[in-house]
Amino acid sequence: MGADEQDTQTVVRIRDLRVAYTGESGSTPVLNGVNLDLRAGMTTALVGASGSGKSTLALSLMRLLPRDVEVSGTIERIWLTHQANLLAFPEWRLRGIRGEEITMVFQSPGAALDPVMRIGSQMREAVGACSGYSRRQMREIIAALLADVELDASVARAYAHELSGGMQQRVMIAMAIANNPDLLIADEPTSALDVTVQSRIIALLKRLQREYGFSMLLITHDIAVAAQVADEIAVMSQGRIVECGARAEVLEHPQHALTRSLVSAARALSLEPMDKV
Amino acid sequence: MTTAPAKMTNNADAPLLAARDLRVTYSRRGGGTCVAVDGVTFEIARGETLGLVGESGCGKTSLGRALLGLIPVAGGNVTFDGQPIEQLRSTVLRKFRRRAQLIFQDAAASLNPRMRVGAIVADPLRVHGMARGKAARERVEATLAQVGLDVALINRYPHELSGGERQRVDIARALVLDPEFLVCDEPVSAVDACTRVALLDLLRSLQRAHQRSYLFITHDLAAASRMCDRVAVMQAGRIVELGATDRVLSNPQHPCTRQLRSAVPTF
């Protein structure tokens, strides 16, 4: 495994990332020097309590932070032949990155989807309204994407409120994979869903990753979810990554006190494997 | 109708709550009805926690609300302490409402954002005319302490609290009246795993200390296993399996139970 891992290409390399929100009462540091590598085709789970800076890290990767923040450090986007610091990109150059090379699935699909637009129209925007596809081609692309997330093509004509939470999240995932991204950021993709739906969405993300080959940054407060999907687990606390390593290593030999408490909470909320079904 | 005795009976052996062939329906826009609860029968003993487990949309919340008389039932009946609740009127109904309380899933949505914690927890005391002024304040402080909240939070607004703290405020609001029966509707689904374990243990200890009865609604069999004496599994408005928690978890009979069982992460 060690040799493979070294050969795997890094798609994003974060070094000493610091983000502070500035306001009337001075600046509040949220990220205090984050170092993290995201590798092609691998899933890194970012685990931590609410307020630890997980979502700020995701928004930094997408360059979607509000204006009144101080940012330093580097987020290097690494392509096959070259690399560049995303933090230094002018806004116009981000257009080719956001929603194309790096895409995101949010926690509450009900809030992320437009309530007055049919699903098909929203997906058309995700695929690229000006991509030059004919109406018919576009319809076929959307049907194929819906099939990929195990939804019927008729969903394209529905409005968001007509779908269940699980179906809404599948639509979000379909839009996130539409442009064959290099990195998919999933910010608490299953926290708003019930356990059975949760496990199906996780299985879906895993299958799509195998088929499409994107690397995934999975943000979650639940280390049990991380245990199901991640190749690597990074544990975050107060804007720092306090522990990072291969999944089995982190789960079986947690070093940091926070990791240990997350693991023991997850064990308390799990059940013995069923011997008899 | 008003022939019911003013004081409820207190037969210790009889179940505290019984639902018989309970049905809840909603009318659809443009005609037709949607059957949310479809002929459900069960009992909850004094001091017992019954888990109600099922996927979202199976009718769990409708059933919980019908038990409290918060939504009209389309058929069957609910008896609380020997009395059919749909016949309760005026003072007896108010007394029932005091004895049976609800804890909501999403405390961020169920707490008034413009009221301070102290006022939120004191509100039921005011509504039921049970305590005022200094007595109310003392009772609120005692209840906050019971749920593990710092009394200093009394002057905070809900948005100033963490998710776990808000959920504790919601629990305190339900407990301040010292109810005998609580419907806990997914009380820990919106919080992270560490907080979830802490809240489950809190609810369990509060239940044991006062011999309360709970209907514990959840989609998570692992949470149910930590809380419940018996578990009822619900699917499409019906209870498809009901039994002791250990038996249901170790030897699930219905396919729906097995599916819920296998969705729980094995860690």
Q: Are strands B75-80 and B17-27 parallel, antiparallel or unpaired?
A: antiparallel
Average pLDDT for B153-178: 93
In the prediction, which pLDDT does B163 show?
Answer: 85
CA angle A194, A202, A37 (to 5 degrees): 130
Greater confidence (A12 vs A273) lies with: A12
Test B265 with A276 for CB contact under 8 angstroms.
Answer: no
For residue A277, pLDDT beyond 50: no
Helix (H, G, I), strand (E, B) or coil at B210: helix
Q: Kindly state whether A71 is in contact with chain B, defined as any CB-CB distance less than 8 angstroms.
A: no
Mean pLDDT computed over B191-212: 90
Which residues of B are less than 8 Å from A195 in CB distance? 219-221, 260, 263-264
User: Are A270 and B251 within 8 A, CB to CB?
Assistant: no
Q: Is A62 on the interface with B (CB under 8 A)?
A: no
Kindly identify which residue of chain B lies nearest to residue A191, measuring between CA atoms: B190
Q: How far is CA A103 from the centre of its chain?
A: 8
pLDDT at A120 over 70: yes
A274 interface with B at CB cutoff 8 Å: yes
Q: Look at residue B11 in the predicted model and tell me its pLDDT.
A: 62
Closest chain A C-alpha to B72 CA, distance in angstroms:
25
Does pLDDT of A111 surpass 50? yes
Residue B1's pLDDT is what? 42
Is A252 part of the contact surface with chain B (CB cutoff 8 Å)?
Answer: no
The residue type of B182 is L
Residues 6+ apart with CB under 8 A from B7: none
Is pLDDT of B7 > 70? no
| Closest to B23 in 3D by CA, of B14, B34, B11 | B34
Residue A7: predicted pLDDT: 56
What residue type is assigned to position B92 of the chain? V
Nearest CA in chain A to B225: A271
By DSSP bridging, strand A183-187 and strand A102-105 are parallel
Find the residue in B nearest to A229 (Cα): B265
pLDDT > 90? residue B91: no
Put simply, whether B194 touches A (Cβ < 8 Å) is yes
> In 3D, which of B174, B177, B173, B176 has the Cα closest to residue B95?
B177
More confident residue, B42 or B188: B42
The pLDDT score that the predictor gives to residue B31 is 82
* ipTM of the prediction: 0.71
What is the H or E stretch that residue B41 is in? Answer: strand B33-44
pLDDT (0 to 100) of residue A5: 46
Report the percent of chain B where pLDDT is more than 70.
96
- Is the pLDDT at B3 greater than 50? The verdict is no
Distance from B197 to chain A by nearest Cα, in Å? Answer: 6
CA B213 to chain centre: 9
- Asked if A257 is an interface residue toward chain B (Cβ–Cβ < 8 A), one would say no
pLDDT at B96: 93
**Per-residue pLDDT reduced to its tens digit, A167-207:** 999 999 999 999 999 999 999 998 878 888 888 999 999 99
- CB of A276 less than 8 A from some CB of B: yes
pLDDT digits (tens, 9 = 90+) for A228-260: 899 999 999 999 999 999 999 999 999 999 999
Please give the pLDDT value at position B86: 86
- Say how far apart CA B261 and CA B221 lie, in whole Å: 6
Q: Return d(Cα B33, Cα B25) in angstroms, integer.
A: 6
Shortest Cα distance, chain B CAs vs residue A197, angstroms: 8
Work out the mean pLDDT of chain B and round it to a whole number: 90
Q: How many CB pairs under 8 A join A and B?
A: 89
Angle between helices A165-177 and A135-148 (to 10 degrees): 120
DSSP A160: G
Q: Which of A194, A196, A271 sits opposite B249 (nearest CB)?
A: A271
A164 at B interface, C-beta within 8 A: yes
Nearest CA in chain A to B186: A194
b/e per residue, B57-67, with b = 16+ CB within 10 A?
ebbbbbbbbbb
The CA distance from B113 to the nearest CA of chain A, in Å, is 20
Residues A247, A252, A254, A259, CA torsion sign: positive
Instruction: Go through the domains of chain B in sequence order and give each one's CATH number.
Output: 17-262 (3.40.50.300)
pLDDT for residue A108 is more than 70: yes
* Per-residue model confidence as pLDDT tens digits over A32-80: 999 999 999 999 999 998 789 999 999 999 999 988 899 999 999 998 8
Sort out which chain B residues have CB atoms less than 8 A from A272's CB and list them. 266
Of A221, A271, A274, the CB nearest to B192: A221
pLDDT of A49 reads 84
Relative orientation angle of helices B163-175 and B133-146, to the nearest 10 degrees: 130
pLDDT band at B255 (very low <50, low <70, confident <90, very high): very high
* pLDDT-based confidence at residue B32 (cuts at 50, 70, 90): confident
Q: What is the pTM of this model?
A: 0.80
Is pLDDT larger for residue B2 or for residue B117? Answer: B117
Which residues in chain A have their CB less than 8 angstroms from residue B163's CB?
50
Shortest distance between the Cα of A51 and any Cα of chain B, in A, equals 9
User: Do the Cβ atoms of A196 and B162 come within 8 Å?
Assistant: no
A223 at interface of B, judged by CB pairs closer than 8 A: yes
| Residues of chain A found within 8 Å of residue B192, distances taken between Cβ atoms | 49-50, 221-222
- Average pLDDT in the B206-230 region? 93
User: CA of A267: which chain B residue's CA is closest?
Assistant: B267
Looking at the predicted structure, is the pLDDT value of residue A2 above 70? Answer: no
- pLDDT tens digits, B234-244: 999 999 999 99
